[in-house]
Amino acid sequence: MEKTNVIYLAGGCFWGIEHLMQSIPGVIDARSGYANGTGEEDADYKTVCTGKTGFRETVRVEYDAAQVSLEAILMAYFYVIDPTVQNRQGADIGTQYQTGIYYTDEKSRETAERIAEIEKSSGAPFFVEIGPLKNFFSAEEYHQNYLEKNPGGYCHIPWAEMKLFAGLHIEAEEYTKPAAEVIRAKTAADRD
């Protein structure tokens, strides 16, 4: 029986999401790329940055479900993104930075939609796209493992938050929406 699963996560600049996902025990591989856009001929950084391709900077996350649940991966994802803004994360602005969760199977769809409902329960605006993966093309090699190659490189995700998930273990039934005070504090810090 195959123990690996794949989910595609768009969370602003792919450098940080890739690095975050690689730090989670049970994640086998995380690869930066472009998802759900016009086609392979437009899947390059310069063209994607025009905002005319529909592509989102996305990370392909392959994980061992015996070691880490999709719920845990999505908990980490929602912890570091701001789901209340559209076409933006941190200082990065543009359609390529739109947040999204793209699935390739029914079980992942159900999990993503269930977790999104929990996240939406605060009543705040919610702009995370959730839908099937239409296409994915790996980003240029210089984008792969970017923060590993460039330790001082820009990232909209605080390093302390990335370290937090390095020892992550959470069971599916334990996923809960963080307290409103925690969310307010986090979003206030993100805006500063």
Q: Which of 37, 59, 61 is nearest to 50 (CA)?
A: 37
Q: What is d(CA 133, CA 135) in angstroms, rounded to the nearest whole number?
A: 6
- Options 10, 13, 17, 73, the catalytic residue: 13
13 is known as an active-site residue: yes
DSSP string, 26-68: TEEEEEEEEESSS-GGG-SHHHHTTT-S--EEEEEEEEETTTS
* CA distance readout (Å), 183 to 11, 37, 50, 122, 172: 17, 31, 32, 9, 21
Q: What is d(CA 74, CA 78) in angstroms, rounded to the nearest whole number?
A: 6
Q: Which of 100, 87, 172, 176 is nearest to 131 (CA)?
A: 100
Element housing 146 (H / E): helix 146-149
Q: Which of 97, 72, 103, 104 is nearest to 83 (CA)?
A: 97
Single-letter amino acid code for the residue at 50: T
Active site residues: 13
